[in-house]
Structure 1
Amino acid sequence: MSNKAKTKKPTHEAFVVTGESDNAFWTKIGGVWPHEDGKGFNVELVALPLGGRLTIRERKETTS
């Protein structure tokens, strides 16, 4: 990944999700950046899940 992409905040976040509905437990495990041509993504994970679902969601901006 280029240094330019590294300085930008990710547009999406990667989670591993275990359980269902109200009992689901979400653990953030990385960030996702779109390619400049819009045809793919770079995914950087800080952990690898041993189970559960890998879910990619749009990043929510925080005000704090």
Structure 2
Amino acid sequence: MAYTLNKQQKTSPRAPDFLAWHVTQKGDKSYWNKVGAAWAHKDSAGYTIQLEVVPINGRIVLRQPIEDPREPATDQEGA
């Protein structure tokens, strides 16, 4: 029996357009925990949301990711 292999295009995963945060309020403080991410559809008419956990209370907030200032810069001038 002959088998044919389909070549799958391997692409690196896209960075998410938004991070999903579970926000709970306790008194005057808000507590934010990252619970997933969201990617815009190619036609810009919607989003795919991938959640690692599903909160049962609070709210989910989508925010654009920001660069972590603690990470080293990748630009190397004069090298």
- TM-score, normalised to structure 1, is 0.82
Aligned to 2:6: none
> Which ranges of 4 or more aligned residues in structure 1 deviate by more than 3 Å?
none
CA deviations on 1:31-52 (whole Å, 9 max, x unpaired) are 1100000010000000010100
Aligned to 2:47: 41
| Counterpart check, 1:10 vs 2:2 | no
Aligned to 1:31: 37
- Gaps of at least 5 residues in structure 2 are 1-9, 72-79
Which protein, 1 or 2, shows the higher relative CO under an 8 Å CA cutoff with sep ≥ 6?
Answer: 1
Larger Rg: 2
- TM-score, normalised to structure 2, is 0.67
Letter in 2 for 1:12: F
1:43 is paired with a residue of what secondary structure? strand
More strand by share: 1
Matched residues, number: 61
RMSD: 2.1
Letter in 1 for 2:35: I
Letter in 1 for 2:20: A
More helix by share: 1
- Gaps of at least 5 residues in structure 1 are none
